Amino acid sequence: ELKVEQNPLFLSMQEGKNYTIYCNYSTTSDRLYWYRQDPGKSLESLFVLLSNGAVKQEGRLMASLDTKARLSTLHITAAVHDLSATYFCAVGFTGTASKLTFGTGTRLQVTL
Amino acid sequence: DVKVTQSSRYLVKRTGEKVFLECVQDMDHENMFWYRQDPGLGLRLIYFSYDVKMKEKGDIPEGYSVSREKKERFSLILESASTNQTSMYLCASSNFDSYGYTFGSGTRLTVV
C-alpha cells in the first residue's frame, strides 16, 4: 500500500524567511504533484514533476523530485503572507486511471 | 477555462436520508474521482471511474456508491447518510496523461 507522508504538518513562519516542506512516499512512482488549497476552497495545481531530478519554479515556490530517495521538496523563498495555505503533495503511477494518493497536507501560516 | 462543477457548495441532510452529490466536467476527461477531506486525514479516495459505466472502489468505499452514465457526469450516492459522513467532498477529473487532476469547488456535507 502506497503511503505518502508530509512534514511538517503545520508550519508558522515569518515573512521573508525560507523554509522547505518534505514529501516522502513509500513506493517507486513516476509522477508527483503539488497542490495548494486556500481555506474553504478547493485544490489548485501548482507543480507536476515527472522525472528524477525534475525542478519546477513559480515565483517564491520551487519543487524538486528525487525518485531514488522517494522524496519531493517544496521550497519557499522569502515567504509572503499570500502564501498562507495548505499544501498537498500527491503521488501517482502511469496506467492506473491516473489515480493519485495524497499526503496529509502541510498548513502554512506566514505571519507579518 | 476548463471546469469541474459540483452542484452544491453546502448541504445539510438528516441521518438515514439518501444523498446525491453531482459532479460535471467539461474537459472530455476519461477519469473522474470522488474524495473526502477531513482534518488531519488529508484526502481519501472513495470511488473512481475510468470510463462510462465503469467504476472502481477506492480506499474508503463503505457506505457510498457511484454512477457514471455519461462521460461528463459522476455522481456520488450516500445510500443512508450517517453523521460520520459529515465531511468535505471533492470531485476531480483527469485524462490518461501526466497533468494530474482538476478539482471541483467541493461540497461541504453536514449530516444531522
Would you list the DSSP string of chain B? ---EEES-SEEEE-TT--EEEEEEESS--SEEEEEEEETTTEEEEEEEESSTT--EE-S--TTEEEEEEETTEEEEEESS--GGG-EEEEEEEE-SSSS--EE---EEEEE-
d(C-alpha B86, C-alpha B34), whole Å: 15
Q: Residue B111's pLDDT is what? A: 98
CA distance B15 to chain A (A): 24
d(C-alpha B106, C-alpha A10), whole Å: 23
A24 touching B, CB under 8 A?
no
Range of the domain at B21: 4-111
**Cβ–Cβ under 8 Å, residues A84 and A107:** no
Q: Residue B39's pLDDT is what? A: 87
**Cβ–Cβ under 8 Å, residues B91 and B104:** yes
Query: Is residue A90 within a helix (H) or strand (E), and if so which, with residue range?
Result: strand A85-92
Q: Residue A53's pLDDT is what? A: 87
CB contact under 8 A, A48 and B98: yes
- The count of domains in chain B is 1
Render pLDDT for A54-109 as a digit per residue (tens, 0 to 9).
999 999 999 999 999 999 999 999 999 999 999 999 998 766 557 889 999 999 99
C-alpha cell at B49: 471511474
d(C-alpha A83, C-alpha A98), whole Å: 28
Of A50, A99, A102, the CB nearest to B98: A50
CA-based nearest residue to B43, from A91, A47, A56 = A91
Q: Residue B2's pLDDT is what? A: 63
A99 touching B, CB under 8 A?
yes
Q: Residue B97's pLDDT is what? A: 73
* CATH classification of the domain holding B72: 2.60.40.10
Of A41, A48, A99, the CB nearest to B48: A99
Q: Which residue in chain A has the smallest CA separation from B91? A: A42
Q: Does domain A4-111 have CATH number 2.60.40.10?
A: yes
B41 touching A, CB under 8 A?
yes
Give the start-to-end residue ranges of the domains of chain A: 4-111
CB contact under 8 A, A101 and B101: no
